[in-house]
Amino acid sequence: MMRREFAREMASLDAVFEFLHRFAAKERLDPQAAYALDLAVEEFFTNIVKYGKGSAGGVLVEADRTGGTVTVRLEEETPVPFDVTRQTATQFDTPFVERKPGGLGIHIAREMLDGLTYDYVDGTSRITLTKHLEP
Amino acid sequence: MFSITVNDEGIVVLTGRFDASQTDSAREVLSGLRDSAVVDFRDLDYISSAGLGVLLATQQRLKKEGKAIKLTHMNRMVRDVFKIARFDLIFEIE
């Protein structure tokens, strides 16, 4: 298992990717799985940075592999639970010229992952991503 | 690492990883397009929803003037992201 805490700022994104790529190399993840994790973690990390409520500390990222399943967790201490995985309505039925990208990243992440959960316990907000690897 | 340039033939060339930290540089180049253009994804390894949003805004602006960007040479994973987002219905992809 690998874990590292990142400053809650957009400038951390490169370091988050570097962490994920070291994990992917260590676990020899296939490119599709590595891409899905990059995309999903980027989405939720940036949402935490943009929309986190009243939180000042860092964001802990943990990555682990058990058999054919990879799990990545993003944790933060926060006084208010705020589920950044909630999907705002994707605008597939909206005319193209009016369409906005809101909700798109969460939709793509959900489609590329095999599991996505949010929980809040004792002041800790936790997003858990799971991805099954190709046999 | 990400770069966006317009080559001598007017083709927009994307290179590297187009993530949420790269939207400003992409907007700066794409906002300069005044006519239909080709965007070459040959050397683009990664795009996230942040990058899609910048391309969507560009396409919306150009379409209002009867113009469009066309996307070429995507790798399979990038193409999958476009399909999941249903952006393959918004852009011509070669």
Could you give the domains of chain A? Answer: 2-132 (3.30.565.10)
Considering only CB atoms, A105 lies closest to which of B49, B56, B77, namely B49
CATH of the domain at B65: 3.30.750.24
CB contact under 8 A, A104 and B85: yes
Above 90 in pLDDT, residue A50? Answer: no
Render pLDDT for B45-92 as a digit per residue (tens, 0 to 9). Answer: 999 999 999 999 999 999 999 999 999 999 999 999 999 999 999 999
DSSP, res A79? S
pTM score above 0.90: yes
pLDDT class of A90 with cuts at 50, 70, 90: low
pLDDT class of B93 with cuts at 50, 70, 90: very high
Residues 6+ apart with CB under 8 A from A82: A51, A52, A53, A125
**Residues on A contacting B at a C-beta cutoff of 8 Å:** 10-11, 13-14, 17, 31-32, 35, 38-39, 42-43, 46, 92, 96-97, 99, 101, 104-105, 107-108, 111-112
Provide, as residue numbers in chain A, all residues whose Cβ is less than 8 Å from the Cβ of B50: 42, 46, 105
CB contact under 8 A, B20 and A11: no
Looking at the structure of chain B, the number of domains it has is 1
pLDDT of A98 reads 66
pLDDT class of A93 with cuts at 50, 70, 90: low
CB contact under 8 A, B20 and A14: no
pLDDT of A29 reads 97
The mean per-residue pLDDT over the stretch A27-43 comes to 97
- In this predicted structure, which of A39-48, A77-86, B10-19, B80-89 has the lowest mean pLDDT? A77-86
Alpha-carbon Rg of chain A, whole angstroms? 15
Above 90 in pLDDT, residue A74? Answer: yes
pLDDT class of A95 with cuts at 50, 70, 90: low
CA neighbor of A117 nearest in space, from A79, A80, A72? A72
In angstroms, what CA-CA distances link A68 with A4, A58, A71, A104, B68? Answer: 23, 29, 10, 28, 43
What is the chain B residue with the closest CA to A102? B53
- The number of angstroms, rounded, from the C-alpha of A96 to the middle of its chain's C-alpha atoms is 27
Considering only CB atoms, B52 lies closest to which of A42, A92, A104, namely A104
- Residue B85 forms contact with A (CB below 8 Å): yes
ipTM of the complex: 0.94
Instruction: Please classify residue B94 by burial: count the beta carbons closer than 10 Å to its beta carbon, then call 0-12 exposed, 13-18 middle and 19+ buried.
Output: exposed
CA distance B14 to chain A (A): 18
pLDDT class of A37 with cuts at 50, 70, 90: very high
Alpha-carbon Rg of chain B, whole angstroms? 12
> Could you list the residue range(s) of the whole structural domain that residue B37 is in?
2-93
